[in-house]
Amino acid sequence: MRANTVDRWLRDQINRYGPVSKLSLFCTPTVLLAGPAANKFVLFSSALHLRHPPSSQRIIGEKSLLDLHGDDHRRIRGAILEFLKPDMLKLYIGRIDAEVRHHLQENWYGRTTVTVMPLMKRLTFDVISALLVGLERGDARDALGDDLVRMLEGMVAIPVNLPFTAFSRSLKASRRARRLLERITLDKKDKLEQDNASANKDLISRLLSLLNDHGEQLLTNEEIIDNGIHALIAGHDTTSILMTFMVRHLANDPATLAAMVHEHEEIAKKKADREALDWEDLSKMKFTWRVAQETLRIVPPVFGILRRALEDIEFEGYCIPKGWQVFLSTNVTHMDPSIFDEPAKFDPSRFESLSSTTPPCSYVAFGGGHRICPGMEFAKMETLVMMHYLVRQFRWKLCNKENTFVRDPMPSPLHGLPIKLEHYTSL
């Protein structure tokens, strides 16, 4: 998948054969769909089950949301949302703020060039490992970070467990990460039982403290571990890609950058020196979030959604046979000129009134329906906090003029996006 040819190939396929066509994916007959009606059909249908590359289940574990449906999916998703809902997330802005400042101080400040993508990955990992698993900075966090990278490398690999394959390295990393999460889970359980820890400290503590109607732990330890690993994986590359592509875009769009700087300076004016951002500050970053949404429209980290038909099912007069896959190309809809006027133009103002100007389900960067991304608010918080400090402290120029990216299957800019940095103000 080189130089975003996948996006182009999907667009050509849909232009040639229309919004419903056939192909073979992972050796399985697959219906390719695009458009708002297809988005609604796929995201809301209970006759289509989530399908993912076979290697990912063995890396993440069988009890994660990826493999669950119906009541089990609702129970675990509900538990995860107990942590990821805005009321809870409000409690964590200070910690995200501290991680972002530390990251900038360690990795950006005093440098003349940096490579953005690996740094954004490091930052998102630091934030999610602190808030989802409760790991402080140190060796255990670093080891989990290395294992997470290895796990991600094997997610779409051929699932053959032979020595020296990406898949076998991923499985080993997954076993190590699982052992670490198991130790952390048992330790937190002990502390919670002795009333020696807060149930709201992180996702694992929150999941451990949820009880069913009989007063028993709602989720088993295995469910907690598998879903902890899944949340780490789901939250790592996605948010770092968003922030990387925002940096790439802002380098060549002084008007958007100036509007963002203005928004953040207004917020900073009312803060004491070194005071952390709070929920109210984030609620004022409306323009910045529109810039993020527009970035996700043009370069969605998740460019397609895969499902499997549980029974024969009809869409717009076509029968999709039981067992077939459905691949929903979300990026093709995002770039459809009949829905988004001048789709290649970067225009954050589209998001001022998106629902009145586009058909429902046109914008699906975070999915939709019962599997809509539960980490959306979390990703929003991380992105807004990072952008607040970045645009106030730095100016930058791209080292590579070529404006392309590869998909593998997540998008990544050329050479990880090296930039020349200029320091604007100090921390």
Q: Which stretch binds ligand HEM (CB under 6 A): 17-25, 167-175, 178-186, 236-244?
A: 236-244
Q: DSSP states of 151-194 as a string?
A: HHHTTTS-----TTSHHHHHHHHHHHHHHHHHHHHHHHHHHHHT
Q: Which stretch binds ligand HEM (CB under 6 A): 21-29, 146-154, 313-321, 368-376?
A: 368-376
Site track 307-346 with ligand HEM (rule: CB under 6 A), x = hit: ----------------------------------------
Q: Which of 1, 25, 47, 50 binds ligand HEM (CB under 6 A)?
A: 50
Query: In this complex, which beta carbon is closest to ligand HEM, that of residue 180 or of residue 373?
Result: 373
- At position 216, the amino acid (one-letter code) is E
CA–CA gap between residue 129 and residue 119 (Å, rounded): 15
Query: Is residue 235 part of the contact set for ligand HEM (CB under 6 A)?
Result: yes
Residue nearest ligand HEM (C-beta atom): 375
336's tokens: 């459809």
Query: Is residue 413 part of the contact set for ligand HEM (CB under 6 A)?
Result: no
Q: Which of 63, 77, 103, 297 binds ligand HEM (CB under 6 A)?
A: 77
| CB of 203 closer than 8 Å to CB of 133 | yes
CA–CA gap between residue 277 and residue 1 (Å, rounded): 40
| CB of 243 closer than 8 Å to CB of 387 | yes
| CB of 108 closer than 8 Å to CB of 421 | yes
CA–CA gap between residue 239 and residue 83 (Å, rounded): 18
Site track 115-154 with ligand HEM (rule: CB under 6 A), x = hit: ----------------------------------------
Q: Which of 63, 150, 230, 297 binds ligand HEM (CB under 6 A)?
A: 230
Chain residues 240-279 in contact with ligand HEM, contact rule CB under 6 A? 242
Question: How do 325-329 and 28-33 pair as beta strands?
Answer: parallel
Which ranges in 18-91 belong to alpha helices (H)?
36-44, 54-60, 70-84, 86-89
373 annotated as a binding-site residue: yes
CA–CA gap between residue 127 and residue 162 (Å, rounded): 33
Considering the complex, what minimum distance in angstroms separates the CB of residue 371 from ligand HEM? 4
Annotated binding site for heme: 373
Residues binding ligand HEM (CB under 6 A): 50, 65, 77, 230-231, 234-235, 238-239, 242, 296, 301-302, 305, 365-367, 371, 373-375, 378-379
